[in-house]
Structure 1
Amino acid sequence: MILLKLRKVHITRYITPLREGGSMPALVEADDNFKYVIKFRGAGQGTNALIAELIGGEIARFLGFKVPEIVFADLDEGFGRTEPDEEIQDLLKFSVGTNLGLHYLSGSITFDPVVNKLSPKLSSEIVWLDALLMNMDRTCKNTNMLMWNKELWLIDHGASLYFHHSWTDYEQQAAKPFSLIKDHVLLENASQLNEVNEEFSTKLTPEVVNSIIDLIPDSFLSKDFGFESYEAHRNAYKRFFKIRLENINQLTENINYVRKNNI
């Protein structure tokens, strides 16, 4: 049995909003004296974005990618009362409790595919990962990759697993190719997908994925969508990934087809 654990921190200071996209993340300081980019439970997509961030980031980390440390970040009631911006004050009010934080990479710069050239192997690894996660947010417009200390870091997996906003036919979705892979910033350079698939699909077992999904706290989960319990909600994520990994060879073949035919 694989046991994983995330650290818990307590938010002590709100530094500045990072007005990117609709999630309104922010830079904060915590009681361990480190700075974190916080994804708030009270933002537009709620805890679904936090779940996708947790699952996507920890799967990426297990596969060997560099990902900022993910922590559970507690926010006290009344924290935002002195915040003058009403929009931010409301966000903080609706985010009391456990949120998700990513260690702040101070001095990092946005990955530029023109300037920062990656190997075909690394490009293939990232494309494979994003197809598995159904991550729509690694495009030329928004690469969600950073260069820090001359190394590539993956960030922001919150737009992954978009099926979980409705849970309609999620088992069928799990077996389907990821159509938006055609827009991936690294697709053209991903010429070693078959080799990567053989390596990663062997390494990423259902046991590993299940241990990551077990990290999701009850407070992120819901009994909506017909789930009878929080555990039933977790089990639906496990079922999704079980089916997806069972179909990973066909999914990889589809990526190769899209890449070669430019569609």
Structure 2
Amino acid sequence: MLKEVTATRYITPLREGGSLPGLVEADDFGIYVMKFTGAGQGRKTLVAEVVCGELARRLGFRVPGLVTVGLDPVLGLGEPEQQVQDLLRHSGGSNLGMDFLSGALGYDPLAFPVSAEEAGRIVWFDALVNNVDRSWRNPNLLVHRGELWLIDHGATMIWQHNWPAAEASAVRPYDASEHALARFAPDVAGAAAELAPRVTEDLLAEVTAEVPDAWLTDEPGFDTPDALRRAYARPLLARAAVIAGRVAGIDARTGAGREGEK
């Protein structure tokens, strides 16, 4: 399971995210970007963040460290904004925290070119988890100390919202035409050759084990948190084997996407 900390101070809301994440200080003196169970899609967004973030980390990507953050809603009583008060009041208990990367800058493809190899690895990973939120409009990438970091995986694995059709999602293509890195001729085939064999049942069991039981209970159709963990793993395992051949919107010869051709 993820490390557990307790929020001791709510610092400020972060306006970049639609779910209104906030910056908090915890009892380990760490500063975290906190995502709340009371926001948006609730705990399913947090599950997606953990599964994709921890899978990315194990595949060698740079991802902020993740923790669970215990929240006492009383921390929101002094907040001047009613929206923030409501969010904290409805998010008591366990929430998700991500290490705050001080000094990090939002990714700009004009200022930070990426190799075809690195672009291919990121596009392949986003195709694997069906990340629809890494476009050139909203890259969800940070540059920290000269290196590229992946953030915000809440809008992934959309099959978790329709479990009866989840495994069929493994064969669905991924449209990378507007991906933030499409312009850099991503070597998706090379990435698949390296990464796909590493996505195993054991690795996915390790990753899904990081999700707290509290976020996996009371899901219709599943008797136990472990049954739901296996349901998260199955589409990813099947998709890893085939998704490289189903990435659309990137020229097979050059790797360039439509955005890169402008």
Using structure 1 for the length normalisation, give the TM-score: 0.91
Distance in 1, matches of 2:162 and 2:7, equals 31
Contact 1:6–1:72 (8 Å) recurs in 2: yes
Contact 1:206–1:241 (8 Å) recurs in 2: no
Show the 5 A alignment for 1:142-221. 142-178=138-174, 180-221=175-216
Deviation at 1:168, TM superposition (A): 4.2
Deviation at 1:87, TM superposition (A): 1.1
Contact 1:79–1:92 (8 Å) recurs in 2: yes
Show the 5 A alignment for 1:214-229. 214-229=209-224
Aligned pair partner of 1:259 in 242, 247, 250: 250
Deviations 1:85-107 (A, max 9, x none): 21111111111111111100111
**Amino acid across the alignment from 2:231:** A
How high is the sequence identity, in percent, across the aligned residues? 41
Q: Which SS does the other structure have where 2:249 is aligned?
A: helix
Show the 5 A alignment for 1:49-88. 49-88=45-84
Moved more, 169-178 or 9-18: 169-178
Contact 1:67–1:154 (8 Å) recurs in 2: yes
Go from structure 1 to structure 2 and tell me whether the alpha carbon gap of 1:136 and 1:215 turns closer, same or farther (over 3 Å shift): same
Q: In the alignment, which residue of structure 2 is the partner of 1:131?
A: 127
Distance in 2, matches of 1:237 and 1:145, equals 24
Q: Which runs of 5+ in 1 are unaligned?
A: none
Distance in 2, matches of 1:106 and 1:121, equals 27
Q: In the alignment, which residue of structure 2 is the partner of 1:11?
A: 7
Distance in 1, matches of 2:106 and 2:76, equals 30
**Amino acid across the alignment from 1:258:** G
Aligned pair partner of 2:230 in 218, 231, 235: 235
Contact 1:223–1:233 (8 Å) recurs in 2: no
Contact 1:49–1:159 (8 Å) recurs in 2: yes
Using structure 2 for the length normalisation, give the TM-score: 0.91
Q: Which SS does the other structure have where 2:68 is aligned?
A: strand
Distance in 2, matches of 1:223 and 1:243, equals 26
Contact 1:146–1:153 (8 Å) recurs in 2: yes
Q: Which SS does the other structure have where 1:16 is aligned?
A: strand
Distance in 2, matches of 1:60 and 1:242, equals 14
**Amino acid across the alignment from 2:210:** L
Deviation at 1:243, TM superposition (A): 2.0
Is 2:111 the partner of 1:119? no
Contact 2:35–2:97 (8 Å) recurs in 1: yes
Give me the CA root mean square deviation: 1.7
Distance in 2, matches of 1:152 and 1:104, equals 15
**Amino acid across the alignment from 1:259:** I
Moved more, 160-169 or 222-231: 222-231
**Amino acid across the alignment from 1:205:** T
**Amino acid across the alignment from 2:33:** V
Deviations 1:157-209 (A, max 9, x none): 1111122123241111122222x322211123244221111110122222111
Q: Which SS does the other structure have where 1:174 is aligned?
A: helix
Q: In the alignment, which residue of structure 2 is the partner of 1:92?
A: 88
Deviation at 1:77, TM superposition (A): 4.0
Distance in 2, matches of 1:206 and 1:244, equals 12
Distance in 1, matches of 2:81 and 2:144, equals 31
Q: Which runs of 5+ in 2 are unaligned?
A: none
Contact 1:188–1:259 (8 Å) recurs in 2: no
Q: Which SS does the other structure have where 2:52 is aligned?
A: helix
Q: Which SS does the other structure have where 1:101 is aligned?
A: strand
Deviations 1:127-173 (A, max 9, x none): 00000011111111111111111111111111111221232411111
> How many pairs were matched up?
254
